[in-house]
Amino acid sequence: MINAKNISVDHSSICEGFLQTLLEVLRPKQAYPLHEPEFTSNELKYITETIESGWVSSAGKFVENFEKHLADYTGAKKAVAMVNGTAALQIGLLLAGVRPQDEVVVPAFSFVATANSVAHCGAIPNFVDISSHSLGIDVPRLRAYLNSNIEKTSYGAKNKYSGRRLGAIVPMHTFGHPMDIEELLTVASDFGVPVVEDAAESLGSFRNGQHTGTFGLCGAISFNGNKIITTGAGGALLFNDEHLAQRAKHITTTAKTPHRWRFFHDEVAWNYRMPNINAALGVAQLEILEGLVQKKRLLAKKYQEAFKSNKNFDWFDEANGNRSNFWLNAVMLREQDENLRDELLDYANNINVGVRPAWTLLNKLPMYSNCPSDDLTVSKTVEISLINLPSSPQIMNENTANA
Ligand SMILES: *Cc1c(COP(=O)(O)O)cnc(C)c1O
């Protein structure tokens, strides 16, 4: 069953030990995908309702319901649903005032959508390093980067070297773990730069009792199929400012002025609305969200206990003050060796254990290789040592679930 022919002796014992540790936690099963959705709520019922009523697309009650329940859960004043998380992030940046030829600070360690949403605004990402304790932007290093690169002018913060305006900072809450957002807000306000949170992975995650994505000007959530809950594809922006939320709604729904039958649009806008049939799925998923968070936190605890006795890996835990959704569990290989990491990934995936490496750093992707960047020492270390573990709540061994 296990093809060990390409694995060196010492590496093979690390690989086998890794699998052993995982199997202490996982329910006996054929395959363990990295993350699977769970549909144990009213998903079919609500979707059927949209089909029976004919309202599957751009009108119907589920979008409004979804936005209301999402705002209630997160404590945001308003939530505006959109077609996906990338689109939500792009709209958030536009509302923050980001314009073509601006620069936007993002972590080098993130999913490509964080940088793409900046590029979709015609702006240029600046890559900064992450902290090993949060996996989000390292705030003291960010301050040092801004101190040496940014000067304040009458039209805002400006990059001394490129001459371009700094339009926004986009912190990301990696794998659901809230980053040091309060400290980041202080730095951003010292430089007069708005903050748009990439909270795509962190629905259900709170920092000191406040939901991620509600600290900055606005925060983007994703409901892609691999996220903690899904609408098939979908996203949303969270707002504390009702007026800004109305703007978001207007420009993501073709800027049509309200009228019973007239087609009048008062500006160039986007068709980024979430279809009603997707929102129906979302309303059902929100009903079980808190239960999913609890199960994922329990799975994380089981992994943490199991990895205590495996000396080749460090478990990645949440920081003080955080209630993480533990969207994706992660361990760090102590021996920082890319070949070992790749052997481990091959070994596990060959037997259908869905472990994954970290993202390739964004500054290494061809379209972003010429963007301004700070020293990325921590990001580089995390890139070669981090491994994500299968993280669907359903995969937990029932015998250990209540232990
Ligand atoms: C998933 C994700 C997004 C974008 O979400 P989509 O809905 O897939 O467009 C953005 N940023 C991060 C960090 C993500 O993980």
Q: For residue range 276-291, what is the model confidence (pLDDT) as tens digits?
A: 999 999 999 999 999 9
Confidence of residue 400 (pLDDT cuts 50, 70, 90): low
First vs last C-alpha separation in the chain: 31
pLDDT computed for residue 276 by the predictor: 97
Give, using CA atoms, the residue closest to atom 5 of ligand 1.
85
Q: Is the CB of 235 under 6 A from ligand 1?
A: yes
pLDDT of residue 395: 87
Confidence band of 3 (pLDDT split at 50, 70, 90):
very low
Residue 61 Cα to ligand 1 midpoint, Å, equals 26
Helices 85-95, 112-120: axis angle to 10 degrees equals 50
In angstroms, the CA 103 to CA 119 distance is: 10
pLDDT tens sequence across 375-396: 999 999 999 999 999 999 888 8
pLDDT at 15 over 60: yes
Q: Whose CA is nearest to atom 2 of ligand 1?
A: 200
Q: What is the mean pLDDT of the chain?
A: 94
Q: Is 136 in the pocket of ligand 1 (CB under 6 A)?
A: no
d(CA 145, CA 2): 48
Using the predicted structure, report yes or no on whether residue 202 has a pLDDT greater than 80.
Answer: yes
Q: How far is the CA of 401 from the centre of ligand 1 (A)?
A: 30
Distance, CA of 403 to CA of 401 (rounded, Å): 6
| Ligand 1 atom with minimal separation from the 174 CA | 13
pLDDT tens for residues 176-196?
999 999 999 999 999 999 999
How does residue 266 score in pLDDT terms, banded at 50, 70 and 90?
A: very high
Residue 224: CB within 6 Å of ligand 1? yes
| pLDDT for position 199 | 98
pLDDT digits (tens, 9 = 90+) for 131-176: 999 999 999 999 999 999 999 998 899 999 999 999 999 999 999 9
With a 6 Å cutoff on the Cβ, whether 325 touches ligand 1 is no
Distance between Cα 86 and ligand 1 center (Å): 6
Least confident span in 51-60, 106-115, 192-201: 51-60
Over 80: is that where the pLDDT of 397 sits?
A: no
Measured on CA atoms in the order 81, 87, 90, 91, is the torsion positive or negative? negative
Mean pLDDT of 102-108: 98
| Ligand 1 and 198: CB distance under 6 A | yes
Q: Is the dihedral of CA 373, 118, 120, 84 positive or negative?
A: positive
| CB-ligand 1 contact for 172 (6 Å cutoff) | yes
Span 249-258, mean pLDDT?
A: 96
pTM of the model: 0.95
- The pLDDT value recorded for residue 9 is 54
Tell me how far the alpha carbon of residue 8 lies from the centroid of ligand 1, in angstroms: 37
Q: Report the pLDDT value the prediction gives residue 109, as an integer from 0 to 100.
A: 98
Binding site membership of 113 for ligand 1 (Cβ less than 6 Å): yes
